[in-house]
Structure 1
Amino acid sequence: MRSYTIALAGNPNTGKSTLFNALTGLRQHTGNWAGKTVTSAEGFFEYDDASFRIVDLPGTYSLYSNSTDEEAARDYIIFENPDVTIVILDATSLERNLNLALQVLEMTNRVVVCINLMDEARRLGIKIDLKKMQEKLGVPTVAISARSKKGIDELLKQVMLVASGAVVPSPISITYSEEIEKKIAAIEPQVREMFGTHLPSRWIALRLLDDDESLLTSLKKWLQRDQNAASRKEVLQYGETACH
Structure 2
Amino acid sequence: MSKHYIALAGNPNTGKSTLFNTLTGLRQHTGNWTGKTVLKAEGEYEHNGQTYVIVDLPGTYSLHSNSADEEVARDYILFENPEVTVVVLDATAMERNLNLALQVMEMTNKVVVCVNLMDEAQKKGIIVDEKKLAEVLGVPVVKISARNKTGLNKLLDTVEQMAAGNIPTKPYQIVYSKDIEEKIAALEPEVRELFGDAYPARWVALRLLDGDQSFLEALQQHHNQPKTKEVLVNGVSFSQ
TM-score (norm. length: structure 1):
0.94
* Preserved CA contact (<8 Å) 1:162 1:169: no
- Equivalent residue for 2:120? 120
In 1: Cα distance, 2:42 partner to 2:79 partner:
17
The amino acid of 1:156's aligned partner reads: L
List runs of 5+ in structure 2 lacking aligned partners: none
- Alignment partners' CA distance in 1, 2:21 and 2:236: 45
**What is the CA deviation profile of residues 90-127 of structure 1, one whole-angstrom value per residue up to 9, with x for unaligned ones?**
00000000000000000000000000000000000001
* Contact 1:9/1:87, CA 8 A, preserved across alignment: yes
User: Contact (CA 8 Å) 2:63, 2:74: kept in 1 or not?
Assistant: yes
Q: For 1:30-72, what per-residue CA distance to the aligned partner results, in whole angstroms no more than 9, with x for missing partners?
A: 0111111101100001111211000000000000110000000
What is the CA-CA distance between 1:18 and the residue it aligns to? 0.2
Question: Which letter maps to 1:198?
Answer: A
Question: Residues of 1 paired with 2:8 and 2:185: CA distance?
Answer: 31
Between the two proteins, the alignment pairs up a number of residues equal to: 237
Amino acid at match of 1:146: A
- Maintained 8 Å contact 1:40/1:56: yes
**Would you tell me which structure has more helix in proportion to its own residues?**
1
CA distance, structure 2, for counterparts of residue 216 and residue 19 of structure 1: 33
Look up the match of 1:31: 31
Q: How does 1:84-163 map to 2 (within 5 A)?
A: 84-163=84-163
**2:222 is equivalent to residue 234 of structure 1:** no
C-alpha separation in 1, matches of 2:182 and 2:227? 29
Letter of the 1:234 counterpart: E
CA contact (8 A) 1:121 1:127 kept: yes
* 1:201 maps to 2:201: yes
Structure 2 length normalisation: TM-score?
0.96
Query: 1:162/1:56 Cα in 2 relative to 1: closer, same or farther (>3 Å)?
Result: same
Say whether the 8 Å CA contact 1:216–1:240 is kept in structure 2.
Answer: no
Residue 75 (structure 1) aligns with? 75
Percent of aligned positions that are identical: 62
SS in 1 for 2:227: helix
Which amino acid is the alignment partner of residue 36 of structure 1? K
Q: What SS is found at the alignment partner of 1:78?
A: helix
Runs of 4+, deviation exceeding 4 Å:
none
Query: 1 CA distance for matches of 2:236 and 2:28?
Result: 43
Counterpart residue number, 2:45: 45
**Per-residue deviation at 1:167?**
1.1
Unaligned runs of 5+ in 1: none
Give the Cα separation in 2 of the matches to 1:135 and 1:219. 33
Structure 2 counterpart of 1:239, which letter? N
Cα deviation, residue 145, structure 1:
0.2
Residue aligning to 2:189: 189
Letter matched to residue 230 of structure 1: K
SS at match of 1:54: strand
**Distance (whole Å) between structure 2 residues aligned to residue 77 and residue 105 of structure 1:** 11
Equivalents in 2 of 1:68, 1:3: separation in Å?
Answer: 28
Q: What's the secondary structure of 2:234's corresponding residue?
A: helix
SS at match of 1:188: helix
Q: Which residue type is aligned with residue 111 of structure 1?
A: V
Partners of 1:147 and 1:118 in 2: CA distance = 10
* Aligned counterparts, 1:162-181, within 5 A: 162-181=162-181
CA RMSD of superposed structures (Å): 1.2
